Chains A and B, each alone.
Chain A
Amino acid sequence: MSTVAAVVVTYNRKDKLTKVLDHVLAQTRRPEWVVIVDNASTDGTDEVLKEYEQIDGVVVVRLKDNTGGAGGFATGMNKSYELGADFIWIMDDDCYANSDALEELLNGHAKAEEAMGMQLPYACSLVKWVDGNICEMNNPGTTWDWGKLIAKGQENVLVTHCSFVSVLFPRWALTKFGLPLTEYFIWFDDQEYTLRITKAGPGVQVLRSVVVHDLGQNRGVNFGDVNASNLWKFEYGARNESSFRLHHENPVSWLKFLARLVQGLRHGNVPWSIRAKLFRKVVEGIAFNPKPKMPRSVL
């Protein structure tokens, strides 16, 4: 039977973390390992983790520095790979998985592969917000023939990219394409990674696998929302997407991104000082082109 490692990356969110872990540990298909990556939390998360560490199969990786979501997921996925997991299921520390979320992901992925006659590089869940509506930030992009599997009676949608909120990767995807780009730190790391591995074939969103993303507000990513307090995040987003569109797609795609950015900032009436900082990051992205690290085969 295939083995699964669940990966949860956490940073200063100990209250939600326990709920996340309890949901993971209560899965109908319990993962063989639960790898928790603590991104150098300072809020007492470690005390919580010490308790969970007593549970069989729970592995805690304590990082000395906060490496962002990108670094945390790369670390957790690498650790899971080293442990020998056949599948790696990753999520944030504010994601509550329905009890059958993993089971449905595995089933949906297997059925989709059978119907497509090919290996599929990932399967993601349907992400809802706390009120039961779709979580706007975690909507995957779909392929042109997204309904192909629905036409075959499955509740699965073909996708081109998704967020790192409940997504399952088969081991071979990491062997072939490596790990997420740690250097991205935060934002666009999930899109870059899932777009990268989609070169092997589409991903699949398994609609029967449901998780709840406990965000403060249900809103997608929009450059018009940038302000002085969240600027740091948008700066990473601008640099990372600029780098990706230019180095992994093409100059036209980069220009389209630039147009979208300009338009978003204009619609949001973003102050010019903030706009200037973001454009500086876009320029930084031109020279920024990190390469993926490959995981180590240990067991």
Chain B
Amino acid sequence: MTDKPRNQKPTAVFEVLDDSGVGLSDGDALLDGRERRLVEGAANFYALAGPGQTFRLTVLRGPAGTMPALTDEDRTTIEWEDDREVVGSLVVRSLVHTTSDHSPADGLVDIAVDVGGAPQSVTAYHQLTGVLGKARKAVRFLAPVQFDALRQFRTDMVERKGRDIPRKAPVRLTRGAEATPHGDQPAILFGLHWLELGGAERWAVDTIRLAKEAGFTPIVVTDRDSAQEWITRPELDGALVVPLTLPLDPKQESAFLNGLLSMYDVRGIHLHHCTWLYDKLPWIKSIRPDIPVVDSLHVLEWRTGGFVDISVRLSNMIDRHHVISPQLRDYLVGKHGLPAEKVVFATLAGLTTGGIAVGGSDEAESNPFTVSFVGRFTQQKRPYLFLQLAAELKKSSPREVRFIVHGHGELAAEVNSLRARLGDAVELRGADRPVSDTFRDSDVLVISSDNEGLTLTSFEATAAGVPVVSADVGSQSSLIADDLLCPRHPYSFVQAAAARIRTMMTSPDQRKTWLDEQAAKAEAFAKLPRAEDWTRDLYQGWLK
């Protein structure tokens, strides 16, 4: 019989004693919803890390583009930079009781919490400093395609060498010595990278929803500096959210986790790309070996392996690795010898295809031929390469052609400037237009990414009846017709993609053959186990 909890409202970890400007209790607020949730997240952290203590949070707001600073060890200072305005003051008392108290329970602890400024995304290249960094930045933005060609050669060289990943030795205990009893509210601890738009995040918030549906309280920890624009999403209502900003005071790390484990009955841990939580797994397994740990892996990063290699390193602490693509399954089992029964391949097919009607334009309906890009304007997605392809097609197309670039992101300025060179042939679309409109208007979708797991856009395009020309990266070969997979190197990508699209323009039959192959692959892929079903069953198992 399952032990389903009666309510999902998280046990409060603090009470508000006074509030000025924040708006956590009634009254006028100077903060917007996102900022308020950030402050609440900071208060969650301090309440959990400081059982029984009283905290006064002075809330600062920085200029646009600055990141929140909520929990790092510098927060205890009572001085701040000139450009920070004070927008709130909040006194809270921790309702957490544990035996772990690294500081006295009485007295008032002052914390200066910075919610940052209005979100403004910039690339890592924009943030380069020093002479070499500035030179690199200049080359990157002056000659993006040429710079990309060099990056790809570097990738080839590093990947050829391969990587040996040392393994963290296992925890041999089956029971940790008990210091504190735990709460009785069943919860799942989620570790996320950040709360921003992304494929991994989309799946992460879905699992948070599934946890709530199963009756768990989701505890959501993030570890990456971010404006956390998704912190106001409805999936997070009822969750205990803690957006960490690092580095934490080392003493607070165990205190925070002890606070969590004592306030809630944590039945499982689900990681979605969270380095901080990965690094804490050996300790968590030492004190609570009974808590099962799973992680979801999406993309194998070039040159470093990214979270996948971190997961391999910590595999002895992880009970199940969930992967969304056959490439990752083969990487974990075949390349790194993880036991096959520990690796679960369950797909995200259909995660975002609801509401997309089969459309896809064809020759009769669409003249000119429409070539589209749908995705974030980030280095990984290489929108500049799509625009290079657009320039090539504009020059050599056998019929009239137009382009749609649908998205937004940190490379928006570059996209705008490159688009200006192509004139009216390129239409820019933003978040105000639904993606389904773009699929309806498209004859072909191009995925120019430097790297991918398995793009959700490919599923969407297939649902809409649009053939996809894609860089042959990640597991794209699971969904894309063989002939439409193009090399990752920028020049050969443009050459191959342009040739395939020109063929589509002149041969509707060939376009249909490729689309049929894509649909057949999607159909075969759709028969594989789905991540949502697997996760739902997993969480049900954690209720018992």
Q: Name A's B-contacting residues (CB within 8 A).
A: 82, 84, 119, 171-172, 174-176, 296-299
Distance from B17 Cβ to chain A, minimum over Cβ atoms (Å)? 56
Is B462 in the interface zone, CB < 8 Å from A? no
B230 contacts chain A at the CB level, 8 A cutoff: no
Q: Which residue of A lies closest to B326 (CB)?
A: A297
CA distance A233 to B475 in the complex (A): 38
With a cutoff of 8 Å between Cβ atoms, the chain B residues found around residue A299 in the complex are 326, 478, 524-525, 528
Which residues of B are found within 8 Å of A297, using beta-carbon distances? 325-327, 329-330, 475, 477-478
Shortest CB distance A58–B (Å): 17
Q: Which residues of A contact B478 (CB under 8 A)?
A: 297-299
Check A175 against B335 for contact (C-beta < 8 Å): yes
**Closest partner residue, chain B, to A82 (CB atom):** B477
Contacts of B329 in A (CB 8 A): 297
User: Among the listed A172, A174, A296, which residue makes an inter-chain contact with B337, where contact means beta carbons less than 8 Å apart?
Assistant: A172
Shortest CB distance A237–B (Å): 28
For B525, the chain A residues whose CB sits under 8 A away are 299
The answer for the CA separation of A299 and B475 in the assembled complex, in Å, is: 9
- Complex A-B, nearest 10 residue pairs according to Cβ-Cβ distance, in ascending order: A175-B334, A172-B334, A297-B326, A297-B327, A296-B477, A297-B330, A175-B330, A298-B478, A298-B477, A175-B335
Q: Which residues of B have CB within 8 Å of A172?
A: 330, 333-335, 337
- Give B301 Cβ to nearest chain A Cβ, in Å: 16
User: CA A84 – CA B334 in complex, angstroms?
Assistant: 13
Of residues 456 through 501 on chain B, the ones whose CB sits less than 8 Å from some CB of chain A are 475, 477-478
Contacts of A84 in B (CB 8 A): 326
What CA separation (Å) do A100 and B331 show in the bound complex? 32
Residue ID in chain A nearest B162 by CB atoms: A176
Query: Could you say which residues of chain A place their CB within 8 Å of the CB of B337?
Result: 119, 172
Q: How far is the CA of A173 from the CA of B93 in the complex (A)?
A: 58
Chain B residue contacts of A82, Cβ below 8 A: 477
User: Bound state CA distance, A176 and B336, in angstroms?
Assistant: 9
Docked pose: A296 CA to B480 CA in angstroms: 12
A171 contact set on B, CB distance < 8 A = 330, 334
Task: Tell me whether B136 is interfacial, beta carbon within 8 Å.
Answer: no
| Residue on B nearest A174 in the bound complex, by CB | B334
Establish whether residues A175 and B331, one from each chain, have CB atoms under 8 Å apart when the complex forms: yes
Contact A298 B521 (CB under 8 A): yes
A290 to chain B, nearest CB (A): 14
Q: What residues of A have a CB within 8 angstroms of the CB of B333 in the complex?
A: 172, 175
Bound state CA distance, A41 and B521, in angstroms? 28
- List the A side residues contacting B331 at CB < 8 Å: 175
Give every chain B residue within 8 A of A298 (Cβ-Cβ).
326, 475, 477-478, 521
Task: Output the residue of A172, A174, A298 with the most chain B CB within 10 A.
Answer: A298
Question: Once the chains are docked, how many angstroms separate the CA of A175 from the CA of B327?
Answer: 9
Tell me, rounded to whole Å, the shortest Cβ–Cβ distance linking B331 to chain A: 7
Residues of A with C-beta under 8 A to B335: 172, 175-176
Extra contacts, 4 of them, besides A175-B330, A176-B335, A299-B524 (Cβ < 8 A), are A172-B333, A175-B335, A297-B477, A298-B326
What mask results when residues 102 to 128 of chain B are scored 1 for a CB within 8 Å of chain A, else 0?
000000000000000000000000000
- Tell me, in angstroms, the Cα distance from A203 to B335 when the chains sit together: 18
Tell me the bound Cα distance from A171 to B326 in angstroms: 12
User: 30 A-B contacts, Cβ less than 8 Å apart?
Assistant: A119-B337, A171-B330, A171-B334, A172-B330, A172-B333, A172-B334, A172-B335, A172-B337, A174-B334, A175-B330, A175-B331, A175-B333, A175-B334, A176-B335, A296-B477, A297-B325, A297-B327, A297-B329, A297-B330, A297-B475, A297-B477, A297-B478, A298-B326, A298-B475, A298-B521, A299-B326, A299-B478, A299-B524, A299-B525, A299-B528
User: How far does the alpha carbon of A176 sit from the alpha carbon of B327 in the complex, in Å?
Assistant: 12
Q: In the complex, A297 Cα to B334 Cα: how many Å?
A: 11
Given contacts A297-B475, A298-B521, contact A176 B334 (CB under 8 A): yes
Query: Smallest Cβ distance from B387 to chain A, in angstroms?
Result: 28
Residues of chain B within 8 A of A119, CB atoms compared: 337
- Chain A residues near B521: list those with CB within 8 A: 298
- Least CB separation from A291: chain B residue: B160
- CA of A82 to CA of B330, assembled, Å: 11
B 303-337 binary contact with A (CB < 8 Å = 1; else 0): 00000000000000000000001110111011101
Give complex CA distance A82, B327 in Å. Answer: 10
Q: How long is the Cα–Cα vector from A174 to B335 in the complex, in angstroms?
A: 9
A209–B326 CA distance with the chains assembled, in angstroms: 31
Chain A proximity mask over B362-404: 1 for CB below 8 Å, otherwise 0: 0000000000000000000000000000000000000000000
